[in-house]
Every structure is written in structure tokens, then in C-alpha cells.
Homo-oligomer: A and B are copies of this chain.
Amino acid sequence: MRPKRLNPKSDCAVELTLSVIGGVWKPLILFNLLMGKKRFMELTRLIPSATQRMLTLQLRELEEDGLVTRHVFPVVPPRVEYEVTDLARTLAPVMLSLRDWGERYRLEQQKLPPLEPHCQA
């Protein structure tokens, strides 16, 4: 079942967006998938802090929300590829704006040096 953390039916568009990309894992997953399609095991290696369980749960939700597609190859051992949709690609500017503000915040509040311009798992 869907998490209740953010109400996806909220009248507030900001909340709606956060209900889709909010949380710890979804931004990381989306970032990695925006770099190119990935298999499940690749994602677990790229985002080692996420358990398999969390990855599957989050991927299911991203799929439900129309942000990633899941290609199953009927082979053994199983092979599944995840890819971002066109809709998810429109998230790029949102991610950039979130990232830019985060960088600025880091500088202003924590007096820390900037990091690489991309997200790391």
C-alpha cells in the first residue's frame, strides 16, 4: 500500500510533487535512472544504503506514478531493466532547482565546501 506521508490528492501542487519524488530513495533512484537504464542489481550496487526491499517498494511506486518503466526479460536468471519515462525526464529542472538550493544552503548554513554537481548514493 501507498505511504500516507504525503497526500497525493492534495490541492497543493507542491505537495503533489513531493508525494511523487519525496522521501529518501526516490530522488536517488531517479538520478541514477536519468543517467541511463539500469538493472535491479545495478541499482542495489549504486545505492548501497537502500535495502532490496526498499528499492522494490520505491520502484513500484515510481512505476505506478508513471515515472519509470519496467522491462522484464523472460530469462533465467531473471533480468529486469528500469528506465525513466519522458515524464520523469521533465523532472530534470526540478531536480536542478532542488540541488542548487541545497548547495546554497550548505554553503550558507554549514559553511562547507561544495561537492560535485551530481548526486551520489
Contacts and interface: CB of A to CB of B under 8 A. Distances in A.
Contact of A12 (B6, B13, B105, B120): B120
A18 to B, nearest CB: 6
A46 interface: no
Interface stretch (A36-44, A75-83, A94-102): A94-102
Interface in A97-121: 97-106, 108-109, 115, 119-121
A97 B93 CA distance: 8
B99 A14 contact: yes
Given A97-B94, A120-B11, A16 B106 contact: yes
A15 interface: yes
Contacts of A22: 18, 22-23
- Indicate the member of A13, A18, A105 with the most B CB atoms within 10 Å: A13
Contact of A90 (B90, B104, B106): B104
8 contacts: A12-B119, A13-B103, A15-B102, A18-B27, A18-B98, A87-B108, A93-B97, A94-B98
